[in-house]
Structure 1
Protein backbone atom coordinates (compact mmCIF):
# COMPACT_ATOMS: atom_id res chain seq x y z
CA UNK A 1 0.00 0.00 0.00
CA UNK A 2 1.34 3.43 -0.97
CA UNK A 3 1.47 5.98 1.81
CA UNK A 4 -0.63 8.97 0.84
CA UNK A 5 0.93 12.11 2.27
CA UNK A 6 -1.71 14.58 1.10
CA UNK A 7 -4.95 14.30 -0.89
CA UNK A 8 -7.17 17.34 -1.34
CA UNK A 9 -8.92 19.62 -3.75
CA UNK A 10 -7.46 23.07 -4.32
CA UNK A 11 -8.15 26.48 -5.76
CA UNK A 12 -6.39 29.81 -6.11
CA UNK A 13 -6.08 30.44 -2.37
CA UNK A 14 -4.37 27.08 -1.80
CA UNK A 15 -1.25 27.46 -3.96
CA UNK A 16 0.98 28.67 -1.13
CA UNK A 17 -0.44 26.10 1.30
CA UNK A 18 0.25 23.22 -1.11
CA UNK A 19 3.75 24.44 -1.82
CA UNK A 20 4.57 24.69 1.90
CA UNK A 21 2.94 21.35 2.72
CA UNK A 22 4.89 19.64 -0.04
CA UNK A 23 8.15 21.12 1.29
CA UNK A 24 7.25 20.04 4.84
CA UNK A 25 6.11 16.49 4.06
CA UNK A 26 8.95 15.32 1.82
CA UNK A 27 12.15 15.55 3.92
CA UNK A 28 10.92 12.86 6.36
CA UNK A 29 10.47 10.43 3.43
CA UNK A 30 13.92 11.13 1.99
CA UNK A 31 13.72 14.10 -0.40
CA UNK A 32 15.86 17.09 0.55
CA UNK A 33 18.27 19.75 -0.70
CA UNK A 34 18.26 20.87 -4.32
CA UNK A 35 16.07 17.94 -5.39
CA UNK A 36 13.40 18.98 -2.87
CA UNK A 37 13.59 22.62 -3.98
CA UNK A 38 13.29 21.65 -7.63
CA UNK A 39 10.38 19.34 -6.94
CA UNK A 40 8.50 21.99 -4.96
CA UNK A 41 9.04 24.43 -7.84
CA UNK A 42 7.70 21.86 -10.35
CA UNK A 43 4.65 21.24 -8.14
CA UNK A 44 4.05 24.99 -7.90
CA UNK A 45 4.22 25.38 -11.69
CA UNK A 46 1.74 22.58 -12.34
CA UNK A 47 -0.84 23.72 -9.77
CA UNK A 48 -0.49 27.31 -10.99
CA UNK A 49 -1.26 26.08 -14.53
CA UNK A 50 -4.50 24.57 -13.22
CA UNK A 51 -5.48 27.91 -11.71
CA UNK A 52 -4.59 29.91 -14.82
CA UNK A 53 -5.61 27.56 -17.64
CA UNK A 54 -7.92 24.82 -16.38
CA UNK A 55 -10.86 26.33 -14.57
CA UNK A 56 -9.19 27.44 -11.35
CA UNK A 57 -9.48 24.29 -9.26
CA UNK A 58 -8.22 20.74 -9.19
CA UNK A 59 -7.18 17.76 -7.08
CA UNK A 60 -3.74 17.31 -5.53
CA UNK A 61 -2.39 13.90 -4.49
CA UNK A 62 1.06 13.45 -2.94
CA UNK A 63 2.20 9.90 -2.25
CA UNK A 64 5.20 7.64 -1.85
CA UNK A 65 5.27 4.62 -4.16
CA UNK A 66 8.01 2.18 -5.15
CA UNK A 67 10.91 4.28 -3.87
CA UNK A 68 9.64 7.51 -5.38
CA UNK A 69 7.46 10.40 -4.44
CA UNK A 70 4.61 11.16 -6.84
CA UNK A 71 2.49 14.28 -7.05
CA UNK A 72 -0.56 13.82 -9.26
CA UNK A 73 -2.50 16.95 -10.18
CA UNK A 74 -5.82 16.61 -11.99
CA UNK A 75 -8.23 19.17 -13.37
CA UNK A 76 -11.34 19.35 -15.54
CA UNK A 77 -10.02 21.96 -17.96
CA UNK A 78 -9.94 21.88 -21.77
CA UNK A 79 -6.68 19.92 -22.06
CA UNK A 80 -3.12 20.91 -22.90
CA UNK A 81 -2.46 22.17 -26.45
CA UNK A 82 -0.45 19.78 -28.64
CA UNK A 83 2.71 21.87 -28.70
CA UNK A 84 2.97 21.97 -24.90
CA UNK A 85 2.19 18.36 -23.93
CA UNK A 86 5.59 16.71 -23.84
CA UNK A 87 7.54 19.56 -22.27
CA UNK A 88 10.30 19.42 -24.87
CA UNK A 89 9.55 22.70 -26.64
CA UNK A 90 11.32 25.60 -24.96
CA UNK A 91 9.12 28.71 -25.09
CA UNK A 92 10.61 31.67 -26.91
CA UNK A 93 12.15 34.49 -24.93
CA UNK A 94 9.43 36.83 -26.17
CA UNK A 95 6.62 34.58 -24.88
CA UNK A 96 4.90 35.39 -21.62
CA UNK A 97 4.39 32.18 -19.65
CA UNK A 98 4.43 28.72 -21.18
CA UNK A 99 7.37 27.44 -19.16
CA UNK A 100 5.64 25.54 -16.35
CA UNK A 101 5.38 22.11 -17.92
CA UNK A 102 8.76 22.50 -19.62
CA UNK A 103 10.30 23.37 -16.25
CA UNK A 104 8.65 20.37 -14.57
CA UNK A 105 10.28 18.11 -17.19
CA UNK A 106 13.68 19.65 -16.38
CA UNK A 107 13.33 19.29 -12.60
CA UNK A 108 11.61 15.92 -12.11
CA UNK A 109 12.84 12.40 -12.79
CA UNK A 110 9.63 11.65 -14.69
CA UNK A 111 6.57 13.59 -15.82
CA UNK A 112 3.44 11.82 -17.04
CA UNK A 113 0.64 13.59 -18.86
CA UNK A 114 -2.86 12.42 -19.76
CA UNK A 115 -4.92 15.18 -21.32
CA UNK A 116 -8.04 15.70 -23.33
CA UNK A 117 -11.13 17.87 -23.65
CA UNK A 118 -12.49 16.78 -20.25
CA UNK A 119 -9.36 17.38 -18.22
CA UNK A 120 -5.73 16.70 -17.53
CA UNK A 121 -3.75 14.59 -15.09
CA UNK A 122 -0.06 15.32 -14.60
CA UNK A 123 2.20 13.11 -12.52
CA UNK A 124 5.49 14.38 -11.16
CA UNK A 125 7.93 11.70 -9.98
CA UNK A 126 11.09 12.11 -8.00
CA UNK A 127 13.20 9.07 -7.05
CA UNK A 128 13.99 9.12 -3.35
CA UNK A 129 17.36 7.34 -3.40
CA UNK A 130 19.49 8.56 -6.31
CA UNK A 131 22.52 6.44 -7.09
CA UNK A 132 21.17 3.31 -5.41
CA UNK A 133 21.03 0.25 -7.70
CA UNK A 134 17.48 -0.92 -8.24
CA UNK A 135 16.78 -4.49 -7.23
Structure 2
Protein backbone atom coordinates (compact mmCIF):
# COMPACT_ATOMS: atom_id res chain seq x y z
CA UNK A 1 0.00 0.00 0.00
CA UNK A 2 1.28 3.44 -0.95
CA UNK A 3 1.55 5.97 1.84
CA UNK A 4 1.91 9.73 1.91
CA UNK A 5 3.73 11.76 4.55
CA UNK A 6 1.82 13.15 7.51
CA UNK A 7 1.69 16.92 7.24
CA UNK A 8 -0.31 19.93 8.31
CA UNK A 9 -0.23 21.30 4.76
CA UNK A 10 -2.01 20.26 1.61
CA UNK A 11 -0.06 17.83 -0.52
CA UNK A 12 0.96 18.47 -4.10
CA UNK A 13 1.53 15.02 -5.58
CA UNK A 14 3.10 14.46 -8.99
CA UNK A 15 1.71 11.35 -10.68
CA UNK A 16 3.52 11.66 -13.99
CA UNK A 17 7.15 11.39 -14.92
CA UNK A 18 6.47 12.37 -18.52
CA UNK A 19 8.34 15.70 -18.52
CA UNK A 20 10.74 16.64 -15.71
CA UNK A 21 11.34 20.13 -17.08
CA UNK A 22 7.63 20.98 -17.22
CA UNK A 23 7.12 19.49 -13.72
CA UNK A 24 9.86 21.74 -12.34
CA UNK A 25 8.36 24.76 -14.09
CA UNK A 26 4.86 23.96 -12.79
CA UNK A 27 6.27 23.59 -9.29
CA UNK A 28 8.07 26.93 -9.48
CA UNK A 29 4.80 28.62 -10.53
CA UNK A 30 2.88 27.00 -7.66
CA UNK A 31 5.47 27.97 -5.04
CA UNK A 32 6.04 31.55 -6.24
CA UNK A 33 4.52 34.46 -4.32
CA UNK A 34 2.05 36.52 -6.30
CA UNK A 35 2.15 40.32 -6.49
CA UNK A 36 0.33 40.62 -3.16
CA UNK A 37 2.67 38.23 -1.35
CA UNK A 38 0.33 35.23 -1.34
CA UNK A 39 1.54 31.73 -2.14
CA UNK A 40 0.36 28.14 -1.83
CA UNK A 41 1.54 26.32 1.28
CA UNK A 42 1.97 22.75 0.10
CA UNK A 43 4.24 19.83 0.77
CA UNK A 44 5.52 18.33 -2.46
CA UNK A 45 5.57 14.59 -3.21
CA UNK A 46 7.32 13.65 -6.43
CA UNK A 47 8.43 10.12 -5.70
CA UNK A 48 8.37 7.80 -8.71
CA UNK A 49 6.16 5.30 -6.83
CA UNK A 50 3.24 7.66 -7.54
CA UNK A 51 3.79 7.61 -11.32
CA UNK A 52 0.54 6.60 -13.01
CA UNK A 53 -1.45 6.25 -9.78
CA UNK A 54 -5.11 7.33 -10.09
CA UNK A 55 -6.42 10.39 -8.29
CA UNK A 56 -8.79 8.18 -6.28
CA UNK A 57 -5.86 6.15 -4.92
CA UNK A 58 -3.91 9.30 -4.08
CA UNK A 59 -7.00 10.73 -2.36
CA UNK A 60 -7.39 7.64 -0.16
CA UNK A 61 -3.71 7.77 0.82
CA UNK A 62 -4.01 11.50 1.59
CA UNK A 63 -7.04 10.95 3.81
CA UNK A 64 -5.14 8.32 5.81
CA UNK A 65 -2.11 10.59 6.17
CA UNK A 66 -3.83 13.80 7.11
CA UNK A 67 -6.94 14.98 8.87
CA UNK A 68 -6.11 18.68 9.12
CA UNK A 69 -6.48 19.89 5.54
CA UNK A 70 -9.41 19.75 3.19
CA UNK A 71 -7.79 19.72 -0.23
CA UNK A 72 -5.25 17.72 -2.23
CA UNK A 73 -3.50 18.77 -5.44
CA UNK A 74 -2.34 16.38 -8.16
CA UNK A 75 -0.05 17.10 -11.07
CA UNK A 76 -0.94 14.43 -13.61
CA UNK A 77 -0.28 14.20 -17.34
CA UNK A 78 -3.14 16.62 -18.13
CA UNK A 79 -1.60 19.18 -15.74
CA UNK A 80 1.46 19.42 -17.98
CA UNK A 81 -0.54 21.44 -20.52
CA UNK A 82 -0.36 25.23 -20.93
CA UNK A 83 -1.04 27.03 -17.64
CA UNK A 84 -0.51 23.82 -15.68
CA UNK A 85 -4.15 22.94 -14.85
CA UNK A 86 -3.55 21.06 -11.60
CA UNK A 87 -6.22 18.68 -10.33
CA UNK A 88 -7.95 19.82 -7.13
CA UNK A 89 -9.33 17.00 -4.98
CA UNK A 90 -11.72 17.36 -2.05
CA UNK A 91 -10.68 15.43 1.08
CA UNK A 92 -13.93 15.88 3.01
CA UNK A 93 -16.20 12.93 3.70
CA UNK A 94 -18.77 14.14 1.19
CA UNK A 95 -16.22 14.38 -1.61
CA UNK A 96 -17.18 16.65 -4.45
CA UNK A 97 -16.26 16.32 -8.11
CA UNK A 98 -12.62 17.34 -8.72
CA UNK A 99 -11.84 20.39 -10.81
CA UNK A 100 -8.62 21.86 -12.15
CA UNK A 101 -6.86 25.09 -11.29
CA UNK A 102 -4.05 26.80 -13.16
CA UNK A 103 -0.82 26.79 -11.17
CA UNK A 104 -0.66 30.56 -10.76
CA UNK A 105 -4.06 30.59 -8.99
CA UNK A 106 -3.50 27.54 -6.78
CA UNK A 107 -2.56 29.73 -3.82
CA UNK A 108 -6.12 31.10 -3.64
CA UNK A 109 -7.72 27.67 -3.64
CA UNK A 110 -5.26 26.27 -1.08
CA UNK A 111 -5.35 29.27 1.25
CA UNK A 112 -9.11 29.78 1.24
CA UNK A 113 -10.30 26.17 1.39
CA UNK A 114 -7.93 25.17 4.19
CA UNK A 115 -9.00 28.02 6.46
CA UNK A 116 -12.66 27.70 5.42
CA UNK A 117 -12.69 31.27 4.17
CA UNK A 118 -14.44 30.12 1.00
CA UNK A 119 -16.36 27.00 -0.01
CA UNK A 120 -15.59 24.38 -2.64
CA UNK A 121 -18.51 25.55 -4.77
CA UNK A 122 -17.12 29.09 -4.96
CA UNK A 123 -14.14 27.75 -6.90
CA UNK A 124 -15.73 24.81 -8.73
CA UNK A 125 -18.59 27.04 -9.81
CA UNK A 126 -16.16 29.49 -11.42
CA UNK A 127 -14.43 27.02 -13.70
CA UNK A 128 -14.45 27.59 -17.44
CA UNK A 129 -16.19 25.20 -19.83
CA UNK A 130 -13.11 22.98 -19.74
CA UNK A 131 -13.39 22.54 -15.94
CA UNK A 132 -10.40 24.77 -15.12
CA UNK A 133 -10.46 27.55 -12.51
CA UNK A 134 -8.42 30.51 -13.77
CA UNK A 135 -9.11 33.02 -11.02
CA UNK A 136 -11.86 35.50 -10.23
CA UNK A 137 -10.84 38.35 -12.52
TM-score, normalization by structure 2: 0.28
TM-score, normalization by structure 1: 0.28
Larger radius of gyration: 1
**Structure holding more strand per residue:** 1
